[in-house]
Structure 1
């Protein structure tokens, strides 16, 4: 995958999409380049802890992958367009007073109810039970 900043073209194999601005191509979250990560996740072997479904890879580029990539670039284009507003909002938030724990306690916000801190329950649906059992059987032992 390469990006041509002059023509604003993203090349993937023999295909391409445009326009993809340099800001969208280089968009990162916590240092992770979003478009590159998106493609790598779909085309290379995943090496993290995962479910068996994470190892399923398409053997060729599909129309669905094109649709996903176009949707991703559209979302990232929107994120880039909002960066100045987000920066301004963050600055305004950081320069204002914070709410103290004691005020939140007095207002009844703290402590949170036990139902808000309890671990979620696993729902056992009879329709999905066979699939869950299959996935659990395929999972590598720790």
Structure 2
């Protein structure tokens, strides 16, 4: 009898951005993801910043070409990155985003959605656990 292999895990996610410095300020500064590595291109210019996500995964923020295309929300492809938070932290995250000038675009019972400086959708989610007092 063959053993069933374990499910795949997330190794890393990558997002391509036009302004690497601004994106790092959002992901490392506003969201507090620790920077684990920086990469440069052949000329020594910043090319990529890797940020720790937990569970061994990381987010690679990669510099794009200046005039590359952008993706509309309704276009096929990845829709958003959802980062896990505890239900009890939701209001603290709301305040942290507001203090950083980051608007919450929409909410569900389990997630808050905002955009990074490039317009990419980022969710802070505590699914399947409800927020304390909800229900």
Q: TM-score range by the shorter chain?
A: under 0.3
- Normalized against structure 2, the TM-score is what? 0.21
Structure with greater helix share of residues: 1
Structure with greater strand share of residues: 2
* Larger Rg over CA atoms: 1
- Normalized against structure 1, the TM-score is what? 0.21
Higher relative contact order (CA 8 A, sep 6+): 2
